[in-house]
Amino acid sequence: MENTFFLRIEILIFLLSLWYIIYYLYEKIAIIINNIKNIISPNKKHIENKIEKLKNIREENTTNKEEKNPTIKKIKAKDSKKIAEIIKRTKINKSKWYFDTAKSLVIEWLAIDKLNKDLNLELASIYEQDEDYKKAEYIYIDLLDAYKDNFEVLKKLAYNLAIQQRYEDSIDFYLKAYHKNKTDTEIIEHLADLTYQVKSYKKSLKFIKQVLKQNPRNSEKLKMKAFCYEALWETIDAINTYKKVLELQPYNSQVKEKIDFLETHI
């Protein structure tokens, strides 16, 4: 009877180990497939093609011919104070959830200068708060075309695409913004999370390390870093990083089990 009990325990341990090995293989294959996809996909003018593609989609969805070919009248310098006042009133209405009133205020002035950046960003913000992310996306695409990869617009478009769960597109635009300013902590944080989300663990490590450089006690990012090492078969680094997590969370049983498992499979 006792032998049967131990036999069952051994079978259970074997099945758990087998499951973990299968899980490891699945993660590894996913990484390889993702890397192959990145190699096969042409990098030349990659972002520019994405912008052009988004512009084409935007134009296909535009039914108003006057909107496609507007006659733009530039706002005079003396009207800049009026625009600032309009934006202030728009923000007040937006904070009260009066979206239609807020939109009307902005659109009235956009009839004078369709590509005014501040007014367009405010209108996009209204659409996003109203959860109409596609219309906001179209505005950002037009602004990128007009203002030639403006840093602020790149960030907002990247965030908009992330909200729409279009992670790969979001990463591309965040990367373009990152290359314009490599110290922006918000962009670095988003790139760490998004690349992790799409299982691009090598890229994710780069940005996770930058986040941890600023905040070494960020336990969530430490867990992500440890898992990236684990997925990339860098077991020693994974164990050491999990141990750092354990220092911050000494009662985390899952991390303890992870360390024990990895140490027995080195």
List, for residues 45-63, the tens digit of each pLDDT value.
555 555 555 555 555 544 4
- Collapsing DSSP to helix, strand or coil, 215 comes out as coil
Instruction: Using CB atoms within 10 Å of the CB of residue 237, give its burial: 0 to 12 exposed, 13 to 18 middle, 19+ buried.
Output: middle
Q: Which of 16-25, 90-99, 135-144 has the highest mean pLDDT?
A: 135-144
User: Is residue 124 in a domain?
Assistant: no
For residue 235, give the nearest of 257, 199, 264 by alpha carbon.
264
How confident is residue 215, by pLDDT bands cut at 50, 70 and 90? very high
User: Is residue 258 in a domain?
Assistant: yes
Tokens of 185: 């902590």
The CATH number covering residue 257 comes to 1.25.40.10
Are 34 and 199 in contact, with CB atoms under 8 Å apart? yes
User: Domain tally for the chain?
Assistant: 2
Q: Per residue in 127-157, pLDDT tens?
A: 998 899 999 999 999 999 999 889 999 999 9
Q: Per residue in 64-90, pLDDT tens?
A: 433 443 433 454 555 677 777 777 777
User: Is residue 86 in a domain?
Assistant: no
User: Is residue 250 in a domain?
Assistant: yes
Residue type, position 4, single letter: T
Contacts of 255 (CB under 8 A, 6+ apart): 223, 242, 245, 246, 249
Are 86 and 109 in contact, with CB atoms under 8 Å apart? yes
Cβ atoms within 10 A of the Cβ of 55, count? Answer: 15
Q: CA dist 16 to 20, 27, 118, 181, 223, Å? A: 6, 17, 57, 46, 22
User: Is residue 200 in a domain?
Assistant: yes
Q: What kind and span of H or E run contains 140? A: helix 133-147
Start-to-end Cα distance in the chain: 34
Q: CA dist 178 to 34, 124, 137, 207, Å? A: 22, 22, 19, 11
Instruction: Using CB atoms within 10 Å of the CB of residue 217, give its burial: 0 to 12 exposed, 13 to 18 middle, 19+ buried.
Output: exposed
> Higher model confidence: residue 208 or residue 66?
208
User: Is residue 263 in a domain?
Assistant: yes
**Whole-model pTM over 0.95:** no
Rounded Cα distance between 7 and 174, Å, is 54
Residue type, position 188, single letter: I
- Give residue 26's domain range: 1-41
Average pLDDT score, the chain: 81
How confident is residue 22, by pLDDT bands cut at 50, 70 and 90? confident
User: Is residue 240 in a domain?
Assistant: yes
Tokens of 228: 């990236």
